[in-house]
Amino acid sequence: NYDNSLKEPDVLPSRIPNLLVNGSAGIAVGMATNVPPHNLSEIIEGVKLLLKNKDTSIDDLIKIIPGPDFPTGAFIYGRSGMREIYRTGKGVIRLRAKAEIEEGKKDKEQIIVTEIPFQVNKARLIEHVAHLVRDKKIDGITDLRDESDRKGMRIVFELRKGEDSRVILNQLYKNTQMQTSFGVSMLALDHQQPKLLNLKDLLTIFINHRKEVVTRRTAFELKKAEEKAHILEALKKAVENLDEVVALIRKAQSPAVAQEQLIAKFDFSEAQAKAILEMRLSRLTGLEREKIIEDYNATMNLIKELKSILADEEKVVQIILKELDEVKKAFGDDRRTQFIDEQEELTVEDLIQEESMFVTVTYSGYVKRVPPSTYRAQKRGGKGVIGAATKAEDFIKDIFVASTHDYVLCFTDQGRVYWLKVHKIPEGGRTARGKAIINLLNLAPQERVQAILPVKEFKDTEYVVMVTKKGVIKKTSLGAFARPMKRGIIALTIDPSDSVVDARVTDGAQEIILVSRNGQSIRFSEGDVREMGRSARGVTGMRFKEDDDEVVGMSIVTPDARDSHLLTVTDKGFGKRTAIEEYRVQGRGGSGIRTMKITDKNGPVVAVRYVHDEDEIIIASDKGKVMRTKVSEISEVGRVAQGVRLIKVADDERVGAVATIVKEDEE
């Protein structure tokens, strides 16, 4: 120490590895340490395992010490990162607040936070959330309260009725300290040298330290016991020769003389002679003399035990194990920080509410998504409502319903396919034009999107069936399109004079109906079309009686379809529904049978849809007019009828697209 009178320890003789149990953080020149706190009981069990078997692996230790245990609880997000940290001594832990979703008043949901990540300030967290809500960066939270008390933490986020609580919770994780990262660097001084240590290194160094402490403590106790035995041995000898000792002391002229005479007479050391002279007379009684002898014998037994400990390392280990158990019994507790096994990054979909949307695509390539509530159902023959602010030469070409989390496969007229997430399509009002799809996809010059398919999963058991205007048909596994590429890929190799008309997803066991511009149709089994690779050309699906005829649409029906109809719509707004049973199954490649009588009054066929009575349809004109009506309100007639008027169009206006709304999707 400062005056060289005592020695100070470099490391305090702790019974537990404080560096791991309590954690540590510090910064030095060119280096820093950040050790997270751990559970006392788990660390003790890990030390015990390594004490019993020095060949214990880090993986074995991880089974007992799965990760840090923070005093604030919360969750550690993912276990694989912990394995890397404990092997290398360095890494990052992702911490996530403990939150639950509860039903509140008036059918409103609440997000209840009961634990937050380590070193996160609760007041600042609440303040940050309030700012995000104020700035509209997190929408859907109507109130937030701190209901924490002495029983524990409770932060309440009140949500607006109808809001998706999971999406808002994910937004809180993404944008606030409800999810944080803890950088681990287990750098420590080992014999004055800074070292980056793994879990086994840290525990091994602690074990070596404990062995040294127990050994030195035992040696110290042995030294004290031997000194005590040395004195007791003299007292015992003096008691046994009590009369001689008393007589010698009485005759001595001074204590110094008495001490010299005791040394000379009984061969005592100076310390022994001094102890005899300082002994109180009360210790000469019979009872006290017996205690001296008992104390001497006990001290000699202790010396024997201490020497055996110093001679046997296994006994040192047993002492360490016993002391560890004592600490665990007195202070051990259960783990507070739990694990979430999933370690997936939050995707954009986690932050976006999943909901159905109308997606519209115009002939000129403008796309938007609109909530279904935007369009109200109308009676057949109504004028409709304006569904898009299109240019004079543009018109709505396609409308479909998809979830914001779905992929859409965009098949172009040139036989290529592109990927797009529905939520990446800009949302617009009913009259908004939307955004040019060329700005969302890397389309080639003059390339146009002809068919868009919403897809949740790319299953190998499902297929994409494509058809061209010249009647070529092709079937490819949906799994072949599972790897999105920005530049797109070939879906169908076609002739320069041909183009893709439509594409549909099937399960491989359906029947296909192709309909031509001049009112012809053919129904054949999907099994007649073999599965092909992406770059294949396909096979003939339909032949034409007139040179100017071409395929305008395709429908997929089940072989045992009943109580369903084929809806045919012409460019002048006429349409009809015909029982599906009237279309007999034929062989692939024929010219088929008539599906509609084409006249100057109704115009050529522009769309065909497979519908049920409970469905609704949306019809869009090339002037941007949109009308929604129930299928059951459309007349059911035979194949050769010309149909009835479905939507009123002007002389210079034509039907551009028809979409089916299935009832369960709408709900």
Tell me the percentage of the chain whose pLDDT exceeds 70.
Answer: 93
Residue 209 Cα to chain centre, angstroms: 41
CA distances (Å), 515 to each of 244, 299, 558, 607, in order? 135, 109, 17, 8
Report residue 375: phi and psi, to 5°. -105, 130
Report H helices in 267-312: 270-278, 286-311
> How many distinct helices (H) and strands (E) make up the chain?
13, 36
Reference 424, options 383, 364, 491, 367; nearest CA is: 367
pLDDT at 484: 73
Encode pLDDT of 351-395 as tens digits: 677 778 888 877 667 888 888 766 555 555 554 444 544 454 455
pLDDT at 525: 94
Separation between Cα atoms, residue 216 and residue 7, nearest integer Å? 14
The DSSP secondary-structure symbol of 614 reads T
Encode pLDDT of 394-439 as tens digits: 556 667 788 888 888 888 899 999 988 888 888 877 777 788 887 8
What confidence category does residue 665 fall into, taking pLDDT thresholds of 50, 70 and 90? very low
pLDDT at 374: 64
Token pair recorded at residue 5 = 């009178």
CATH numbers and ranges of domains, the chain? 18-95+184-207 (3.90.199.10), 98-177 (3.30.1360.40), 211-331 (1.10.268.10), 354-666 (2.120.10.90)
Encode pLDDT of 538-575 as tens digits: 999 999 999 889 999 999 998 877 788 999 999 999 99
What SS3 state is found at 132?
Answer: helix
Residue 614 Cα to chain centre, angstroms: 39
Residue 212 Cα to chain centre, angstroms: 45
pLDDT at 300: 95
What SS3 state is found at 332?
Answer: coil
Task: Tell me: pLDDT of 263 over 90.
Answer: no
Asked whether 62 and 45 are in contact (CB, 8 A), the reply is no
DSSP string of 48-68, one letter each residue: HHHHH-TT--HHHHHHH--S-
Q: Is 634 left (phi over 0), alpha (psi -120 to 50) or beta?
A: beta
Q: What's the order of all strands across the beta sheet hosting 449-455?
A: 449-455, 407-412, 416-421, 489-490
Token pair recorded at residue 440 = 């969302």
Mean pLDDT of 58-73: 95
Separation between Cα atoms, residue 66 and residue 39, nearest integer Å? 10
Mean pLDDT of 240-269: 87
Lowest mean pLDDT of 145-149, 319-323, 451-455, 524-528, name the range: 451-455
